[in-house]
Amino acid sequence: MTRLLPAAEPMPDAADLVADFVISDLGNAVPVPAAVLIALVKRGMGYNVLYTERATALRKHSGQVAFPGGRIDPEDQDAAYAALREANEEVALHRDDADVLGYMPYYYTGTNYFITPVVAIVDPRAPFVPNPGEVDDVFEVPLETLIDENSYSTFRAVFRGKERQSWQIDHNGHRIWGITANLTRRFRDSVLTGPSNGS
């Protein structure tokens, strides 16, 4: 995993941020720091990547597939601490079971979130358990599936008269699209199959 960054990227000036999809004019709103955990879960001789299906009762992005994660709170030490804290709250992932490998470049969303993807190896001591207040389901996708180019298609939706596109992955009845699919594809292209740093 030498293609990962050794530290999270600092947030640039808001004027220099370009969103993945512009939903509306955010004005002078300060970007919200957030972190997600791309967990490589040890299973037998290989690895799976951990995903959650957000609870349908949530106000934002209900029912969508996401990586464990959320806002970075002021008391969080860094992005890795926040991602692991959220993973513990959402699916009972124990912090001591995770070995952080590094970080991916930030991802800025049209909803004004500045996301730092944190990549970690996870050797779970117990099954993951969804927190019913936040997560309806937790599932894993084999790393080999995510490496396979044929696992990806294009998701299209019209929002406020404009077409939005993202990557899409369908796996065992789960549809991964939007930010989560785009981050998965970035992980595939830049970390799993791309050239290493310095090459």
pLDDT in tens, 30-72: 899 999 999 999 999 899 999 999 876 555 554 689 999 999 9
CA-based Rg of the chain, rounded to a whole angstrom?
16
| Structural contact between residues 135 and 90, judged by C-beta atoms closer than 8 angstroms | yes
In whole angstroms, give the CA distance from residue 169 to residue 175.
6
Tell me, yes or no, whether 131 lies in a domain.
yes
In whole angstroms, give the CA distance from residue 157 to residue 181.
14
Tell me, yes or no, whether 61 lies in a domain.
yes
What CATH number does the domain containing 82 carry? 3.90.79.10
| Structural contact between residues 48 and 172, judged by C-beta atoms closer than 8 angstroms | no
Tell me, yes or no, whether 36 lies in a domain.
yes
Tell me, yes or no, whether 95 lies in a domain.
yes
Strands (E), the chain: 32-43, 46-54, 65-66, 69-71, 98-103, 107-108, 113-122, 135-142, 152-159, 162-171, 174-177
Tell me, yes or no, whether 69 lies in a domain.
yes
Structure-block tokens of residue 50: 């951990």
pTM: 0.91
Total domains present in the chain: 1
Tell me, yes or no, whether 113 lies in a domain.
yes
Tell me, yes or no, whether 52 lies in a domain.
yes
For the chain, counts of helices (H) and of strands (E): 3, 11
Domain span holding position 135: 14-146
Q: What is the pLDDT of residues 145-195, one digit of tens each?
A: 999 999 999 998 776 677 788 999 999 999 999 999 999 999 999 999 976
